[in-house]
Amino acid sequence: MPDTALSIRGLVIRYGAVEAVRGVDLDVPQGHVVALLGANGAGKTSTLRAISGLSPVAAGSISYEGRDITHLDAEKVTRLGIAQSPEGRQVFADLTVEENLRTGAFTVRSKAQVASSFDRCYRYFPRLAERRSQLAYTLSGGELQMLAIARALMASPRLLLLDEPSLGLAPLVVQDIFRILAEIRAEGTTVLIVEQNALQTLKIADYAYVLATGRNHLEGPAADLIQDHALVEAYLGSGGKHPEKNTKETP
Ligand SMILES: Nc1ncnc2c1ncn2[C@@H]1O[C@H](COP(=O)(O)OP(=O)(O)OP(=O)(O)O)[C@@H](O)[C@H]1O
């Protein structure tokens, strides 16, 4: 078994009276892609934000490469080698593609490393290379999503957190994004990915956890879960565009 990169035990997150996450456990082994799936409101985004230091943790623990990061702020978490590509493509609309990418490298001191990160991002996303001088607000939805992922990669993270990279994108663009995720995986980056698009995600993941109403609901090797068609239909949604299938309660 590879070493564990990230380990979460008994995670609890509250927003006032709302208990969004109610004791989640999960492990991400080094070099693996782990998927975090489940219906809207299951607590996936809250869990990712807690890892990144963006949501306060009410109880439980998060450790990364053996170090307790439960209460570290976002900047310290980034410096440890964790980068998050947020849901909703929160890029800087009035900065160019290149300027946005540079903001992702704020923890990187070596100019040579920044240059090689630019090369890597432009290799993954040739569309961004073509548009490097364009202001971000002029990009399409798919290009914005690529920019958000590329910006996270600029920090050369050892653990990449992705929140809904395919949300709202046309099928061809979704295919493009998943092809690039497969390449990122092949280069050995450890990935924790939150997605509604379960089938595509299970194809690139090693292991998956399904959350329901803030708790671990089920888990297993992605190759096993993908075989269970009833489960994929009932709990995971078949393509991310079927919210009615994503609202089923835990039995
Ligand atoms: N800032 C907040 N204040 C209050 N409640 C919140 C806040 N953020 C999330 N919640 C609530 O916490 C629960 C879990 O939300 P979360 O976004 O983590 O789920 P999710 O599984 O990522 O769902 P989605 O796919 O819809 O983003 C939901 O009931 C949500 O309404």
Give the model confidence (pLDDT) of 171-229 as tens digits. Answer: 888 888 898 888 888 888 999 999 888 888 999 999 999 999 999 999 999 999 988 87
Determine the average pLDDT of the residues in 24-29: 97
Q: Would you say residue 243 has pLDDT above 60?
A: no
Check residue 237 and give its pLDDT. 55
Query: Burial of 109 by CB count in 10 Å (0-12 exposed, 13-18 middle, 19+ buried)?
Result: exposed
* Angstrom distance (rounded) from CA 20 to CA 23: 10
45 CA from centroid of ligand 1 (Å): 7
41 CA from centroid of ligand 1 (Å): 5
Q: CB within 8 A of 161, min separation 6: which ones?
A: 48, 51, 52, 82, 83, 84, 85, 152, 191, 192, 193
Check residue 241 and give its pLDDT. 39
Q: Would you say residue 6 has pLDDT above 60?
A: yes
- Positive or negative, the CA dihedral 225, 230, 233, 235 is negative
Check residue 245 and give its pLDDT. 36
* Angstrom distance (rounded) from CA 186 to CA 47: 25
Q: How many angstroms separate the Cα of 61 from the Cα of each of 21, 45, 120, 125?
A: 13, 17, 33, 36
Q: CB within 8 A of 147, min separation 6: which ones?
A: 89, 91, 97, 100, 101, 125, 128, 136, 139
* Angstrom distance (rounded) from CA 26 to CA 217: 11
Q: Which of 45, 90, 217, 236 to mutate to test the pocket of ligand 1 (most atoms within 8 A of CB)?
A: 45
Q: Which atom of ligand 1 is least distant from the CA of 45?
A: 22
* Angstrom distance (rounded) from CA 150 to CA 163: 13
Check residue 242 and give its pLDDT. 38
212 CA from centroid of ligand 1 (Å): 12
Using an 8 Å Cβ cutoff, are 125 and 159 in contact?
no
